[in-house]
């Protein structure tokens, strides 16, 4: 079966639109959840909300005025989302481990790990959602047509 380049470009465009909508929906949902959970007690807790807000602003920018700067900004923010997810998992895990050690000072090794990773509050792997959204955003920008050499720094538009 042979597909012409126009048909493939249309499929690519539709997939990108779908990824962009999915990303926006995921960011908005996670943002609402974090606000409802009052996840803004300190700078570390505020970081995901700031990143989500910045990403939603860039997505709006990309929707209104698509171009190299918006796609490149989104890429940078998505890498920040990956980093925030990793840091968040570490912080959640550490808080759970400290709590477990307060409750049972003699815990160690595998038993400590299992109690820590299974804790409900804060959910140790929940920040992984930030990383997942970061990967989704990077997938949206992968080989994005606005990032081709002829579009570097807005040229060719």
Q: How far apart, in whole angstroms, are the C-alpha atoms of residue 27 and residue 104?
A: 37
Q: How far apart, in whole angstroms, are the C-alpha atoms of residue 69 and residue 11?
A: 24
pTM of the model: 0.85
Domains in the chain: how many in total?
Answer: 1
Preceding omega of 122 cis (within 30 degrees of 0): yes
- Dump pLDDT digits (tens) for 69-126: 999 999 999 999 999 999 999 999 999 999 999 999 999 999 999 999 999 999 999 9
Q: Which domain holds residue 102?
A: 5-154
């Amino acid at each position: 079966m042979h597909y012409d380049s126009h048909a493939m470009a249309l499929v690519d465009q539709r997939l990108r639109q779908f990824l962009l909508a999915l990303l926006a929906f995921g960011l908005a949902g996670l943002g609402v959840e974090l606000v409802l959970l009052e996840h803004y007690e300190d700078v570390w807790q505020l970081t995901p909300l700031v990143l989500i807000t910045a990403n939603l602003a860039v997505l709006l920018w990309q929707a209104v005025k698509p171009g190299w700067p918006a796609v490149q900004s989104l890429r940078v923010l998505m890498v920040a989302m990956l980093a925030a997810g990793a840091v968040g998992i570490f912080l959640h895990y550490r808080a759970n481990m400290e709590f477990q050690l307060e409750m049972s000072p003699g815990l160690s090794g595998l038993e400590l790990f299992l109690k820590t990773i299974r804790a409900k509050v804060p959910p140790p792997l929940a920040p992984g959602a930030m990383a997942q959204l970061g990967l989704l955003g990077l997938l949206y920008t992968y080989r994005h047509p606005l990032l081709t050499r002829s579009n570097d720094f807005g040229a060719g538009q």
